[in-house]
Amino acid sequence: MLEVNNIEVVYNDVILVLKGISLTVPRGGVVALLGANGAGKTTTLRAIAQILDSQNGDLESGSVVFEGRPIHNLDADAIVRLGISLVPEGRRILDELTVLENLEIGAFTRQDRENIKKDLELVLNYFPVLRQRLHQRSIFLSGGEQQMLAVARSLMSRPKLMMLDEPSLGLAPLLVRSIFEILARINREQGTAILLVEQNARLALRFAKYGYIMENGKIVLDGPCKELMENPDVKEFYLGVTEESAVKSYADVKHYKRRKRWLS
């Protein structure tokens, strides 16, 4: 459904940040894009969503094709209309507006009032906590609720492909789990494809079917998540200590520190 072919992105006319990224998301698929801070994950999503302009970024070469159609020359609104929606890093909720107003903004590209109403119902069924707070200003939501609102707002555009930029960041494990359970349901029930960017490799590899690992603007490894989880380098650098090692030996701690260094 989505094909990113060998794209190169430059910021401020000089810094080459993506050095030929290629990736594919199949219809209804769940794909993870992993990598340390600064690898270029957010830039990849911005290049697909056509929001590089606002960042002084430029797609220098390569192509982005969605459902057989090149989309790298379209504007950001057209991308949303085609069915690609980005849940940005840091949520970007309009916190002076109410929950309902934020959700309505998610449907800004649509005219079909009746269906928008139906989708609002659908979205509130996925996120019942938002229904209770529909008329409250979003600033009063917790971090987890804001992340739910960001996902819910994205759903209001009826995406065929939802791109999520580090949805787990800063959230307690229990909340992360419930958000990912809802994402899995959305994927299953609505057929929405998901392109997930995460620093939490363990979480992402469990959630997705196929994964890409980025370093320094390049894809260094890709494959089915089951295989990536067994890959020695992935284990060492991205998954770190094994879950069995509840009792930490000195070696484990050293290992852990090394992993922390990689991820920071």
Residues at the contact surface with ligand ADP, assessed by CB under 6 A: 11-12, 15, 17, 35, 37-43, 55-56
Residue number with the shortest CB distance to Mg ion? 42
Interstrand relation of 193-198 and 30-34 (parallel, antiparallel or unpaired): parallel
DSSP for residue 235: I
Q: Which of the listed partners (ligand ADP, Mg ion, none) does 43 bind, with a CB threshold of 5 to 8 Å by partner kind?
A: ligand ADP
- In the complex, the smallest distance separating the C-beta of residue 165 from Mg ion, rounded to whole angstroms, is 6
Beta carbon nearer to ligand ADP, 46 or 158? 46
Q: Which of the listed partners (ligand ADP, Mg ion, none) does 126 bind, with a CB threshold of 5 to 8 Å by partner kind?
A: none
Q: Which of the listed partners (ligand ADP, Mg ion, none) does 138 bind, with a CB threshold of 5 to 8 Å by partner kind?
A: none
H or E element: which one contains 22? strand 15-25
35: its two tokens:
């990598």
- For residues 176 and 167, give the distance between their C-alpha atoms in angstroms, rounded to a whole number: 8
- In the complex, the smallest distance separating the C-beta of residue 45 from Mg ion, rounded to whole angstroms, is 8
Beta carbon nearer to ligand ADP, 11 or 256? 11
Distance of alpha carbon 87 from the chain centroid: 6
Beta carbon nearer to Mg ion, 120 or 197? 197
Q: Which of the listed partners (Mg ion, ligand ADP, none) does 192 bind, with a CB threshold of 5 to 8 Å by partner kind?
A: none
42 binding Mg ion? (CB under 5 A): yes
H or E element: which one contains 103? helix 99-106
Instruction: Note whether 142 and 99 are within 8 A (CB).
Output: no
Beta carbon nearer to Mg ion, 42 or 157? 42
List the Cα angle 130/99/178 in 5-degree steps: 30
- For residues 60 and 246, give the distance between their C-alpha atoms in angstroms, rounded to a whole number: 48
Beta carbon nearer to Mg ion, 145 or 165? 165
- For residues 180 and 186, give the distance between their C-alpha atoms in angstroms, rounded to a whole number: 10
Per-residue x/- mask for Mg ion, residues 218 to 247, rule CB under 5 A? ------------------------------
Question: In 3D, which of 201, 263, 261 has the Cα closest to residue 34?
Answer: 201
- In the complex, the smallest distance separating the C-beta of residue 161 from ligand ADP, rounded to whole angstroms, is 18
Q: How many Å is the Cα radius of gyration of the chain?
A: 19
- In the complex, the smallest distance separating the C-beta of residue 188 from Mg ion, rounded to whole angstroms, is 27
Give the total residue count for the chain: 264
- In the complex, the smallest distance separating the C-beta of residue 41 from Mg ion, rounded to whole angstroms, is 5
H or E element: which one contains 8? strand 2-11
- In the complex, the smallest distance separating the C-beta of residue 31 from ligand ADP, rounded to whole angstroms, is 16
Beta carbon nearer to ligand ADP, 47 or 103? 47
- In the complex, the smallest distance separating the C-beta of residue 236 from ligand ADP, rounded to whole angstroms, is 20
Beta carbon nearer to ligand ADP, 88 or 159? 88
Interstrand relation of 161-165 and 210-215 (parallel, antiparallel or unpaired): unpaired
Q: Contact positions toward Mg ion, by CB under 5 A?
A: 42
